[in-house]
Structure 1
Amino acid sequence: MSITSQVTNKVQEAQEAVTKASANAAAKAASMAEDVSAKVDETVEMADAALTTVGEQSRQVAEKARSAGEGLKTTVEGAVREQPLTALLLAVAGGFLVGAMWKGRS
């Protein structure tokens, strides 16, 4: 076997090794890209579920606050109807306190 043929064989072996390494690297890169894509999809789904939950909880809190506000309004209206003089005196006292606090800030 001549030196030329040995060099040619070595060059071919090197080319085959580079081709195999390149194919392996491409396969690994594709696998990593699929893994990353799957994780991104999973994260997006989790974020979507969390946002849905937060939105529903916000609606529930708003409904409870509205309901509590209506209950307070009904209670105050009932108290004013039952004891109008007391309600009037409380309103005057409240106004006096607010005015005193406002004057103290000036």
Structure 2
Amino acid sequence: MYTRSVIALTISAGMVGVFLIHPAARAQAYPNKPIRMIVPVLPGGAPDFAGRAVGQRLSDRLSQQVVVENRPGAGGIIGLEALKAAPPNGYTIASVPMGPLTVNPHIYDKLS
């Protein structure tokens, strides 16, 4: 009986601790501005459609605008360079087909 009381008290104290720490751990709300999604293909293709569908679902789920930006050219390298140049703050993401990520590093020697 005593063991059950100690376990229940420990779990209750742990839960209270979690609820007290949670607001402090959340320093700022994310996202608090529109998210930019880079799609490194021409508009109208299957990868563009998939990126826009994901962007729409993400926008609905996060209650924040997701702007899809097509950056075609050079087998997807231009779009990936734009992603690489973006600040690492989580407000620039990409929807990339497999080709630019898997094939290009083996074909092109100088990818920055």
Give me the TM-score of the superposition, normalised by structure 1.
0.31
Give me the TM-score of the superposition, normalised by structure 2.
0.30
Query: Which one has a larger percent strand, Structure 1 or Structure 2?
Result: 2
Query: Which one has a larger percent helix, Structure 1 or Structure 2?
Result: 1
- Structure with higher Rg: it is 1
Name which structure has the greater RCO, CA cutoff 8 Å, separation 6+: 2
